[in-house]
Structures are given as structure tokens and as C-alpha cells.
Structure 1
Amino acid sequence: MIRLEPELGDQALVIVAEEGNTQTVCSVNVEAQGRGVHVGQPIRDAHAMCDGLVAKSRNVLAEKRFLSILRRWAGKFSPWVSEEGRDALVVDLTGCAHLFGGEDALVAVVQDDCTDLGLSVHLGLADTRGAAWALARYAGQAAQSNRSGDAIDQEARATRSRAGKRRHWTKGGAAPVADMSRETRQNRIAGAGQTYSALSPLPVAALRLDAETTAQLGRLGLRCVGDVLGQPRAALARRFGRGLVLRLDQAMGSAPEPISPARPAHHFAVRMSLPEPIGLADDVMAGVDRLLPNLCQSLKDKGRGMRCLQVQAFRTDHAAEMIEVGLARPTHDPVRIRPLIALKVGDIDAGFGIDMLRLEAVQHEPLHERTAVGHLGAGAQARARHTKAQDIEDLIGRLGARVGLDSITRLHPASSHIPEKSAQIMSAAWSGTYDGPWPKAQGPRPVLMWKPEPLGAQDSPQLPHVFRWRGREHRRIRAFGPERVAPEWWLDDPNWRSGQRDYWVTETDRGDRLWLFFGHGATMSAGWFCQGHFL
């Protein structure tokens, strides 16, 4: 944990995580560990044990970003670095240790770097990935009895008061953190061909087994790795499954376990320092015109298209202004991106002047080029469709720069005979146009549709001649229908508990063409309602 708050360097500090309805300790510093606080302890017990304990909530996203930073730092030792879990790195040092003066010197460099970062490190170095994992977590720990009654050195309760004074970590607290001296580092390094002797005294949990398998092995008296290695493989596989045998083979090198290094993330950004501060929107756009083609060319070379562009303006007073531009479709065409920047460049407050501009593609996606094939007519038609789609996407991008991309939606058909469920609303920026034919309804559908509104009319299936709607009296001139729509019986929709409906298209003397229906009242009272308007 990096000490971003120096005042907490000498205080007992823990990180708290939510597990169900309980807050438990998930990480401790050296000071808290020396005072008996341990991982997995409820936070209320930790406060009772350690006076003045400082607790911070866990930030999983920040931990992931920090581990990614550490992965880049570990690249100084080997190019083959991968993240393991949420708190560990695995490095393939084949052919790299001699560059640092040997394995012991390399471990010393790792320790010094981590100390400078304010980190406590547990590491292991061995021929196999499984053995290195075991040494990093269990080096120096002896196998413990499960105290099931078969341990010879188990004391009786009556004689417990006569036992010698125990160290605090044998009573439930955590063991103190030992300094990584040269002797300690040697215990965490298994020389070439010494994997068997290095793992034998470690507890069976060092084989990366689940808690149930570890407990079963302990009940049988197999408490250290050496005890398990001496057993017949066939008997172990029959009793505990192939998982135990696989872990043994991986630890001893019989089964391969390669390291897949994480692929470096694509990063696209350009910047320009200005000899004199600028403050006009035209000057900012002039700088954008110089930077944007280079950024788009970098994206094009990698086959990527940006979805979100960030324009950062750094001012002379050390403040920074930022605007973001979203696009309806990924693209690396500067001609389509520049108008969107011009719409929002006025939001930048130049202050006393801007001395540096920076463009960054904060969100990008793979972009596959399309080539029209076929005879001349088909090619021209395909290009026309492509141009029309681009025009729509550019329009969505311009509107999104003003009102936000989430405010622009489009409709796609849905497989339902219920009028209000016959179409689904989708984000226009994250969905494509529907190319197929739109399903035809059984009857006419209004242009405007809303939730059913009750009418002032008699509760009779006979279409009323006069009714009252939205505070106004309407007189029916002509009507078309009825169209009967039944509810989806396999769903419990509260809006359709009125049962089946008879829809009518009704023209009134006020010039309105309304969509009325009569609910037959299967589970609710019957009556007339208005649900839409034909323009």
C-alpha cells in the first residue's frame, strides 16, 4: 500500500471490505499486524484489540489499477509478467537473474524497490510456478495439527494453565512481519533442482488446494507437502480427485503451467506545447487541427476507432480544462470528429491563457474496414447506403454533443402482440439500424401512445356516443373496430390485469382521432380508456 497520506505512516491502519452484512479486515499494515490485528477479523474486534486503529474502506478499482502499475514496474526484471489474483504478480525470470547479479541480488532489488514504495512484499523463487507460489506464502511456516484429538503434543484443558507463556500470535493474532534479511531471502529461494526439499516441510495448503481438501488431508495425518508426495498417486486420485494430483505435478514440474503475460493496453494520445499562451476558441481549434490528424493516424495504424475523445487544455495557472466528445460509431476520420469538437470548444475557460493542448482517445474499439464488392451498380448502391449510414451517425454525434448521447434513442421491433410492447427503445449510439421489414400489427396503431387514461363514459361494452376526456366533452362522429387484444397469460403484468381489451379508432367532433378501448375487468373494474392519438 503506497503511503499517499504520510500522516498515517506510523499509525495502525487496516482496509475494510463488506462481506454480506459484516465488515471484515482485508488488509493490514505492519503496525496493525504487530498489535495483533489480522486479515479476516471483524472490524469491531480489531477496534477492541487495537486502540487508535484507522480503518479505510476498500476500493477494488483502485487496487486493480495499482496492481497494473506494479505489473509495468516488474517489467524491469522480465518481459513475462502476469497478474495473479488481486494481490500478486508472477514473473518468469528464465535467463534474467544474471543481469542483476544472481537470484539473491535480484530478490534484494525487489525488496528495496518495494520498501521505497511503502510496500511489504512476500516472494518466492523456484523452478515452477506452483513452487514459487508456495514459498511466497508459506515459507518458514510449519505444518499445524488440526487438533482433532490425535496430536501427541495436545495439552489437556486442566493443565493448560501450567503451560508456558505463549506468543501473542498463537492465541489468534497474526505473526509479526520478519525483516527480509539475507537468511530469510535464502529460505524463499529454491535452487535449481531443489523443489522437492524446499516444499516438503511446508503445509499442504501451499499446494493451492481448497479448504475442504486441506482439512481432509489433515484428518488423515497428511499435514505437510512431503507427506503427500510420499503417497501413491492412484490412491490420492481415487480419494481426492485429479485436482490434488494436478497440483502436485504443477508444483514439481511434471505438468506445464506457462505464464501468459498481460497484453499492454492501447494508449492513444498526442500533445502540443505552445510558445505563447492562447485564449481564443479559433486558436484552440488551430491546435486541434494539428493534433487530430496525428491521433487519427495512430488509431488507423492499429485498426482502432475512437468512441470518446478527451480534449485537455492546460492553463498557465497550473489548472486544466477538459471537454469530452462522444461519437455514435467508432471512427478514425478527423473530418467527422472535428465538427463535434468545435461544438464544445466554447466550454473551455482559458483563464490567463493555455500553454499546452492534449488529445486522448479515452475509449476506442476495433474498427474493421469494409470494401464494396460486386458489379458496378451493386458497388454504387452499397457506397450510397454506407454514405447514408455515415450521415445518420454524424447527425447522432452532433446531437449527442449538445444533449448527450444517452438522450438519443431509436426503436427496434419486439416479439409481442401487446401494443406498448411491440417496440423496444434502444440507445442510438450503441445500436444499429433495423434493416428487416417492420412487423405488421393486426390493426391500426397510433402515432402517440401513453398509459391508459380513464374516460367519463358509461361502463358498458357499447361504444359511447358522448364521453369526457382530459376535462373536455367529445362527441363521436365515426369509429372503426373493434380489435380484441388479450393479455400475455404467462406474465403477470399489472397494467393488463383488466383482462382482454376491445380497441376502437374513434373520430370526434373536436378533430381528434383517438384510440379507445374497453377493459372487460377480469381482475379489476371494467371501463373505457384512451391510450393513443392518431395525428
Structure 2
Amino acid sequence: MPTRRILSVWFPRLGADRLLRRLGDLHGAPFAVLEETGQMQIVSALCPLASAAGLRVGQPARDAHAMCAGLVTRVRNPHAEAAFLNALTRWAGRYSPWVAAQPPDALMLDVTGCTHLFGGEAALIETLTQEAADLGVQAECGLADTPGAAWALARYAGRGVQHDRSGDAIDQEARATRSRAAKRRHWERGGAAPAAQTKGAAPRIAAPGQTRQALAPLPVTALRLDGETAAALARLGLRRIGDLTGQPRGPLARRFGKGLLMRIDQALGAVPEPVSPHAAPPRFATRLSLPDPIGLREDVEAALARLVPRLCEMLREKGQGARAVRLEAYRCDDTATWVQIGLARPADQSERIAPLLAMKLDDLDAGPGIDILRLEATQTEPVHKTRPAGHLDAGRAAQQRAGRDTALEDLIGRIGARVGLDAITRRHPASSHIPEKCSSVQPAAWSQPAASGAWPTPPGPRPLLLWRPELVTAPESPRPPATFRWRGQDHALAGATGPERIAPEWWLDDPEWRSGVRDYWDVVTAGGARLWLFYAHGAALSPGWFCHGQFA
């Protein structure tokens, strides 16, 4: 059985490379990607010119601009970077069928039995690196028997050992002791290694069975340790992996915990570390190639009559329902157009998808003629299977499907095809006694109707219209005023019902309720207006009368 071979591909400038592919030539200006940390912006990724200017990842943005006046920056988009990494995962499938993404900036490939197809391991790495460069992405590779060793070689091989400035470093010793320190070969006693020692750094390929020797000159941070553990090991003079592998395991476990030993064993292959391949998302699409170009609506409807049932059959096989469907039309002049529909509920029935597509056919520009029609469910959701039911349950379910449930969903889908699903909303009860918070607005296509009895009965009548409290000019008295002024008009009191006292949510600091406890009154004016007034007793703000809404 061949030895397992793992290839780690690291993209050290993934964020910058992604944006530079889109921005194009910056006329030689250094480029950096900034990340929001809440308190300030820090550098997340750099282009080679910015690194050559002395900038580093993790540096505050203000320091980077001070060091490099011509620096061009963009804010990091983690979601776009994740999508770009997924695209690179699909691209790496040409080198191995076993590819796993390691967010945020790396891939792991099991290339066992694949390297001979590219002329060997070194040729495989050279080909992958060159093709990544052709795509505008810098890639660093490491190949070994274990994922941990490949990860370490990709990031640290050939870079030498990075040291902390601890007290035993040679550049912190007195001048009189430096000659003696050099004779003691200080880099083997915990000091900084000289430049000559980095020339023999580990290669990026560890031969089969030579993992321990390849990892020995690498720093301990190559074991994927946290910063505190790496700093503590450096203070003890254990700076290289070779220094750790020769130490007794018992004292290391007592001082640093089992996590350090697990990382060592993973890198050396004593503890298995599986590589889970990236599962390609299922695609639900079907196409129809036409012998002659078509352009009439009747011809497109006839084609849909064949495409939609085929798509629904594919969805049912996987237990999925379509939430968004796109119809693509490829013209004979090598151009394309498309239309898209959304559904209020996931569906796998032709009679629910086809009418919505028919409503969009007028927006489909056939041009000189359509050669190919392609139908794809771009967004799907699981559809749970129904349980066996008796005659009574089956009849009741059929009535619900034919009446309220399906009809409402189809109506939402039809209206959404014209105005957009996000424009259709419904109100849901919320757990709050505050009038303006007792309900929430949710999209109708992505929410269920409120159950019967879910709406609590308020202690008093509620107005049809609610707005932010508006000041009412009236005497500061808890009793309803005989006359008051609101919205530039004088009103006379004809009747008042109340009060209904509502207290603020004391566990929340709501700026709208800093006026304290409110006494609400249902007020009828002499002009016939029915208003909802309240008297605020005052807390952080002064007391007074306000108008909160109006009844029908």
C-alpha cells in the first residue's frame, strides 16, 4: 500500500489577491486589505509591494499609512473571501479528487497516487504554483506524510526560525560577553540563530518516512500552537520542533497540557488526522437543445412543459424543494438572457412552478432566436416526507392543500413574481407589553402565519395607526386637558376613557421611554377625531402630554 501523501496549499495573500484580480493595475501603488476589529482597523492582507515597503499583517492601519503614504486600501469582505476559497477548492480538483478547504486561506489535498500524473511531487508543486500565479494568486505548498507536517512545511519551510526577544538573546547581552557567547554557540542555548543557519532550512517536500527530520529545524509555532504556549516554550529555549521531540513527554504534558503532545503526534503521524473532502453542493438543472432557433411564446411554453417536470423529478429524488428557479435562454448569436422566480414555500410540483415561469416569459428577449433553454433551481430547501395517514387525515390534508395553505402560498408567489417577495410582509406577535413592540414585521415568504390564539388580548383598545410620540401642548396635569394643541391645531375635549398605565421595560434602556411611566387615554375631540394620548410622569425627561396614535 503506498504511503499516504498530503499536500497543503497556503494562500498567504488571499484577500489582497482577490481584490487585485478585480481592481486590475494600480500603477505600481502598494495595496493592503484592512479588517475592522471594533476599536480600529488593522492590516489583513498585503500585496508584495506593500510587504517590501515594510508593512506587516496585523499592523494598525494608521501606522501602515504613516509608513507608506501612497498605500491603496480596501475593507475586507470575509464572505467574499470564503466564496473565493470555495472557487479555489473546485479549481484544485484537477490535481486530486480529495480536496478539503481550510478557512480562511488554505487547502488540503490528499495526492496519494496522483503525483505521477504530473511528473512527480516536485513537478506537481511547480505546476500548481505556476497555475495559481497565472490566476493572480500566490500559493505556498508543503508535501509530507501527514496533514500537520504539510501545513508546517507550507508556512515555515525555508523561512528560518523566528525568535522572541527573550532575556537570553545575544543582542541583549552586554558587549563584553558577546565574544564568549559566540564561542558557546549561543543559538543552541536559546539565543537567536545566525543567518548562516537558515541556509539549510527544511525543504517544502518531506520524503516518505522522513517527516521527523523535515520538521526538526522548523519553529515550534509550525505545530499549530497558540501564542502563549509558543512563547512559554521559547522562554525555556525550546524553539525548534527538534528540541521538543527529544524531550520527555511526561514533563511536557504536566507543564503545557495534552494539547502540545497531540499536536506533536499529529505532525509525526502517531495520531490520525483525517482530511475531509469538500463536498460539491448538489445542482438541480436541466437543459433542452433545440434543432432550430425558436422565438415564439408558445414554443417556449412547450419547452417548459418538458423541462419543469424533469426538474421536479430531480428535486424529489433528493428530497428538496425549489425556492428560486432561473430560466436561461442561450441565443444563436452566442448571447444569453434569463428570468428568475421565487416561491413562498419550497415546491417540487410542476403545477406550482410552471405558472410563475409563464408570468415571466414576456421579459425573456428571444433576439434572433433561442438555441438552448436551461432550467435551474438556484435555491433549494429540504422537503420533509409525509407520514402515512388514514382516510380522515388524508381528506383533511387534501382540503387544506386545495384551500387555505396552498392557495395562500401560490398567491404570495404570484404577487412576488411582480413586485418581489421581499415586498410582501406579515405581522407576528412579539413578547412585549410595549405598544410599538407587541408585533414584528416579517417577510411573508420566509415566515409561517401566526397560530390561532397567539395574539394576546390587550388590556385596552389599540389604535389603528401608531407613530412616534408627538408633543401635545397642554397643562401638566395627569387628568385629560379640556383643551390642547396638537399639530398646530387647537382641540377641545369631548370625551376621554382611561387611564391605562404602561411602565417601560426597566431592563432595557430605550430612548423612547425615558419619560417614565405613561397613562394612556382614549380621547375624543369636539371635531370627531379619536386620539390615543398619554401623560408621561417623567423620569430622565420632563413630564407632559403626547399623542401616540389615532383610532379609525
Q: TM-score, normalised by structure 1?
A: 0.80
Deviation of residue 409 (structure 1)?
1.9
CA shift for structure 1 position 363: 1.9
Partner amino acid for 2:153?
A: L
Higher mean Cα deviation, 264-273 or 391-400? 264-273
Unaligned runs of 5+ in 2: 1-16, 179-198
C-alpha change, 1:159 and 1:55, in structure 2 (3 Å) is: farther
3-state SS of 1:311 partner:
strand
Task: Please give the alpha-carbon distance, in whole angstroms, between the structure 1 residues aligned to 2:529 and 2:32.
Answer: 65
Displacement after TM superposition at 1:131 (Å): 1.2
Structure-1 residue corresponding to 2:277? 261
Matched letter for residue 230 of structure 1: G
The alpha-carbon deviation at position 382 of structure 1 amounts to: 3.7
Q: Counterpart amino acid of 1:395?
A: L
Partner Cα separation in structure 2 for residue 291 and residue 57 of structure 1:
43
Matched, 1:425 2:444: no
Q: Is structure 2 residue 156 aligned with structure 1 residue 138?
A: yes
**Whole-Å separation in 2 of the counterparts to 1:53 and 1:448:** 53
Q: What SS does structure 2 have at the residue aligned with 1:125?
A: strand
Whole-Å separation in 2 of the counterparts to 1:255 and 1:107: 26
Which amino acid in 1 is paired with 2:457?
Answer: K
Could you tell me whether the CA contact under 8 Å between 1:138 and 1:206 is conserved in 2?
yes
Match of 2:47 in 1: 28
Aligned pairs for 1:20-419 (under 5 A) are: 20=37, 21-22=40-41, 24=43, 26-29=45-48, 60-97=78-115, 102-111=120-129, 113-114=131-132, 116-117=134-135, 119-143=137-161, 146=164, 148=166, 150=168, 187-315=203-331, 318-371=334-387, 373=389, 375-387=390-402, 388-419=404-435
SS at match of 2:142: coil
Match of 1:123, SS state, is strand
- CA distance 1:320–1:42, shift in 2 (3 Å): farther
SS at match of 1:72: helix
- How many Å apart are 1:485 and its aligned residue? 2.5
AA aligned to 2:100 is S
SS for the counterpart of 1:363 is strand
Q: Residue 187 of structure 2 corresponds to which residue in structure 1?
A: none
Deviates more, 1:451-460 or 1:216-225: 451-460
Judging changes above 3 Å, is the alpha-carbon distance between structure 1 residues 189 and 446 closer, same or farther for their aligned structure 2 residues? same
1:249 positional shift: 1.0
Amino acid of the structure 2 residue aligned with 1:380: G
Is the contact made by 2:323 and 2:342 (CA closer than 8 Å) also made in structure 1? Answer: yes
- 2:521 paired with 1:504: yes
Asked whether the equivalents of residues 32 and 71 of structure 2 are also in contact (C-alpha less than 8 Å), the reply is: no
**SS of 2:141 mapped into structure 1:** coil
Q: What's the CA shift for 1:135?
A: 1.8
2:44–2:76 CA contact under 8 A, matched in 1: no
**Structure 1 position 384, deviation (Å):** 3.0
Structure 1 147/389 Cα, relative in aligned 2: closer, same or farther at 3 Å? same
Between 262-271 and 245-254, report the one with greater CA deviation.
262-271
User: For 1:266, what is the secondary structure of its paired residue?
Assistant: coil
Change (3 A) 1:146 1:285: same
CA distance in 2, matches of 1:304, 1:454: 54
Deviations 1:174-229 (A, max 9, x none): xxxx9xxxx99x93322332222221122222212223322322222222111111
How far apart are 1:479 and its partner, in Å? 4.5
Deviations 1:311-339 (A, max 9, x none): 33445555544433222222222322233
Q: Secondary structure at the match of 2:140?
A: coil
C-alpha separation between the residues in 2 aligned to 1:500 and 1:35?
61
Rate the CA distance shift 1:19–1:446 in 2: closer, same or farther, 3 A: closer
The 1-side partners of 2:296 and 2:527 are apart by 56
Between 345-354 and 8-17, the greater mean CA deviation after superposition: 8-17
Q: Match for 1:311: what amino acid? A: L
What code does the residue aligned with 1:489 have?
W
Aligned equivalent of 2:502: 485
| Letter in structure 2 aligned against 1:143 | V
- Please give the secondary structure, in 2, of the residue aligned with 1:82: strand
Amino acid at match of 1:493: D
Moved more, 264-273 or 111-120: 111-120
CA distance in 1, matches of 2:342, 2:331: 24
Q: Give the direction of change, closer, same or farther, for the CA distance of 1:493–1:67 in structure 2 (3 Å limit).
A: closer
**Which residue is 2:9 aligned to?**
none
- Deviation of 1:105 (Å): 4.9
Greater Cα shift, 273-282 or 353-362: 273-282
TM-score (ref. length: structure 2): 0.78
User: Does the Cα contact within 8 Å between 1:14 and 1:25 map onto a contact in 2?
Assistant: no
- For residues 524-535 of structure 1, the aligned pairs below 5 Å read 524-535=541-552
Whole-angstrom CA distance in 1 between matches of 2:361 and 2:279: 35
Name the aligned partner's letter for residue 438 of structure 2: S
Alpha-carbon distance in structure 1 between the residues aligned to 2:515 and 2:62? 54
Percent identical pairs in the alignment equals 54
Task: Assess if the C-alpha contact under 8 Å between 1:310 and 1:359 holds in 2.
Answer: yes
Please list every run of 5 or more consecutive structure 1 residues that lacks an aligned counterpart in the other structure.
Answer: 161-177
Deviations 1:352-396 (A, max 9, x none): 5544433332222222133463x5434433443344122222222
- What RMSD over aligned residues (CA atoms) do the two structures have, in Å? 4.1
Determine if the alignment matches structure 1 residue 446 to structure 2 residue 463.
yes
Q: How many pairs were matched up?
A: 512
